[in-house]
């Protein structure tokens, strides 16, 4: 008798698991059932925001639902990452983050989410090189002159960044630690407001993505001191890299990826991945990214495995560098 009721209980439990799995699948087939929000961890007008907005147009076409961009700023992108990690597992909130997702575990002693286990990885998106730029009226006209200027004005030179944990902060940290001169860092909520202050002369230096800096470099509105890649950029062939100019091996690339919360059903993550691939193949998107010297990730990386590989290897790469520089946030 007891055995029978146990069996009945077991059958009922398995049945409800099956029903739940089936209803998840039915929902997954219908996805998206409402507008999809891409969560950008930095303010509007910055490079992460710019790429997200560019992708949202073809993604809307593919999804048959509006794809909107929302800026959830602060704490180097960890507030946005936590928001998506804790969101319903239905694919309607998508995180679009950069390299900062893999530097945060070293920068923050305690994160409110688990980087490797709280997300479904959708795929890598783009890789953006960076440039070291200065306010238009900064007396130094090239990198050599900048080094002399910094030596003479150590206490008053300011370096902007898009907040603790931003890739601009990472670049600034590498720059100052290679120089051996700690400069005053001015944090903003994103590159949008940071670059406005560089253009206005309120802050001296900024290391940031070509996505935003190239237009001001081309218009001669900022001073340019070098690029953060090992090879020169095709868009700036006459501009030496920082590595070439004495900062041996200096290399920071802002790579980007897309994520949803862990447990989102595979048909949904596959549809987001297909929408992303569709967007990256769009002629307007390709032309605009090429114009900004932003590279589309190779097809094998625009995959969940490609992104996971990248996050894991970047956590391993930056952890010891950040620890050695003693650059902790909390
Ligand atoms: N480029 C920024 C950073 O330094 C973020 C942004 O505004 O996109 O992380």
Find the CATH number of the domain harbouring 63.
3.40.190.150
Q: Do 223 and 165 belong together in one domain?
A: yes
What is the predicted pLDDT for the residue at 14? 55
Q: Do 36 and 184 belong together in one domain?
A: no
Distance 161 CA to ligand 1 centre (A): 8
Residue 8, in any domain of the structure: no
Residue nearest to atom 8 of ligand 1 (CA): 48
Residues 6+ apart with CB under 8 A from 24: 265
Three-class SS state of 120: strand
Distance 75 CA to ligand 1 centre (A): 12
CA 25 to chain centre: 31
What is the tens place of the pLDDT at every residue in 169-201? 999 999 998 999 999 999 998 999 999 999 999
Quick one: which of 166, 41, 167, 53 has its CA closest to 95? 41
What is the predicted pLDDT for the residue at 17? 47
Inform me whether the pLDDT recorded for 205 exceeds 80: yes
What is the predicted pLDDT for the residue at 292? 95
Ligand 1 contact, 166 CB (< 6 A): yes
Residue 21, in any domain of the structure: no
Ligand 1 contact, 208 CB (< 6 A): yes
Token pair in block for residue 175: 């720059």
Lowest mean pLDDT among 129-143, 173-187, 283-297: 173-187
What is the tens place of the pLDDT at every residue in 223-251? 999 999 999 999 999 999 999 999 999 99
Lowest mean pLDDT among 138-147, 178-187, 202-211: 178-187
Residues 6+ apart with CB under 8 A from 243: 230, 249, 250, 251
What confidence tier does 7 reach under pLDDT thresholds 50, 70, 90? low
What is the tens place of the pLDDT at every residue in 21-69? 545 554 678 999 999 999 999 999 999 999 999 999 999 999 999 999 9
Q: Do 151 and 65 belong together in one domain?
A: no
Locus of tokens 């679009």: 96
Residues 6+ apart with CB under 8 A from 310: 102, 124, 255, 257, 301
Distance 81 CA to ligand 1 centre (A): 15
What is the predicted pLDDT for the residue at 109? 86
What's the CA angle centered on 45, arms 118 and 107, to 5 degrees? 40
Ligand 1 contact, 212 CB (< 6 A): no
Measured in degrees and rounded to the nearest 5, phi and psi for residue 20 equal -60, -45
Domain boundary among 209, 227, 245: 227
Residue 12, in any domain of the structure: no
What is the predicted pLDDT for the residue at 1? 45
For residues 212 and 191, the answer to whether their CB atoms sit within 8 Å is yes
Q: What's the average model confidence in pLDDT over 291-297?
A: 96
Three-class SS state of 160: strand
What confidence tier does 13 reach under pLDDT thresholds 50, 70, 90? low
CA 306 to each of CA 267, 309, 312, 324: distance values in angstroms, whole numbers, following the listed order: 18, 5, 10, 28
Residue 19, in any domain of the structure: no
Ligand 1 contact, 165 CB (< 6 A): no
Measured in degrees and rounded to the nearest 5, phi and psi for residue 241 equal -75, 165
The larger pLDDT score, comparing residue 9 to residue 70, is at 70
What is the predicted pLDDT for the residue at 170? 92
What is the predicted pLDDT for the residue at 6? 58
Residue nearest to atom 9 of ligand 1 (CA): 166
Q: Do 121 and 163 belong together in one domain?
A: no
Ligand 1 contact, 162 CB (< 6 A): yes
Inform me whether the pLDDT recorded for 9 exceeds 70: no
Among 131, 190, 212, the mutation site with the greatest number of ligand 1 atoms within 8 A of its Cβ is 190
What is the predicted pLDDT for the residue at 29? 80
Q: What's the average model confidence in pLDDT over 111-122?
A: 97
Domain boundary among 190, 210, 227: 227
Distance 190 CA to ligand 1 centre (A): 5
What confidence tier does 324 reach under pLDDT thresholds 50, 70, 90? confident
Among 39, 41, 48, the mutation site with the greatest number of ligand 1 atoms within 8 A of its Cβ is 48
For residues 136 and 224, the answer to whether their CB atoms sit within 8 Å is no
Inform me whether the pLDDT recorded for 2 exceeds 60: no
What confidence tier does 327 reach under pLDDT thresholds 50, 70, 90? low
Residue 160's domain is classified under what CATH number?
Answer: 3.40.190.10
Containing domain of residue 74, as a range?
31-127+254-325
The span from the CA of 157 to the CA of 27, in Å, is 55
What confidence tier does 3 reach under pLDDT thresholds 50, 70, 90? very low
Domain boundary among 168, 192, 227: 227
Residue 165, in any domain of the structure: yes
- In percent, the amount of the chain with pLDDT more than 90 equals 84
Token pair in block for residue 133: 């730029």
3-state SS, one letter per residue, for 62-113: HHCCCEEEEECCCHHHHHHHHHHHCCCCCCCEEEEEECHHHHHHHHCCCCCC
């Amino acid at each position: 008798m007891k055995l029978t009721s146990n069996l009945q209980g077991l059958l009922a439990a398995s049945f409800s698991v099956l029903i739940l799995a089936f209803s998840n699948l039915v929902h997954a087939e219908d996805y998206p059932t409402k507008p999809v929000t891409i969560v950008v961890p930095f303010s509007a007008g910055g490079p992460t925001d710019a790429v997200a907005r560019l992708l949202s147009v073809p993604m809307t076409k593919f999804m048959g639902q509006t794809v909107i961009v929302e800026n959830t700023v602060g704490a180097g992108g960890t507030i946005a990452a936590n928001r998506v990690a804790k969101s319903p597992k239905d694919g309607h909130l998508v995180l679009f983050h950069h390299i900062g997702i893999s530097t945060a575990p070293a920068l923050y002693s305690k994160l409110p989410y688990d980087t490797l286990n709280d997300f479904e990885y959708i795929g890598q998106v783009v890789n953006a090189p960076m440039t070291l730029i200065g306010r238009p009226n900064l007396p130094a006209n090239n990198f050599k002159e900048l080094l002399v200027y910094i030596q003479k004005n150590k206490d008053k030179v300011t370096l902007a960044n898009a907040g603790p944990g931003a890739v601009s902060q990472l670049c600034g940290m590498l720059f100052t630690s290679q120089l051996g001169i700690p400069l005053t860092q001015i944090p903003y909520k994103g590159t949008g407001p940071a670059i406005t202050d560089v253009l206005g002369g309120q802050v001296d230096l900024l290391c940031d993505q070509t996505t935003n800096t190239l237009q001001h470099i081309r218009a001669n509105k900022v001073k340019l001191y070098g690029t953060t890649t090992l090879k020169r950029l095709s868009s700036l062939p006459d501009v030496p890299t920082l590595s070439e100019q004495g900062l041996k091996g200096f290399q920071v690339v802002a790579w980007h990826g897309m994520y949803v919360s862990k447990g989102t059903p595979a048909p949904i993550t596959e549809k987001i991945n297909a929408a992303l691939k569709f967007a990256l193949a769009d002629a307007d998107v390709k032309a605009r990214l090429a114009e900004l010297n932003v590279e589309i990730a190779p097809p094998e990386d625009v995959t969940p495995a490609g992104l996971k590989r990248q996050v894991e290897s970047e956590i391993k790469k930056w952890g010891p560098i950040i620890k050695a520089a003693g650059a902790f946030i909390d």
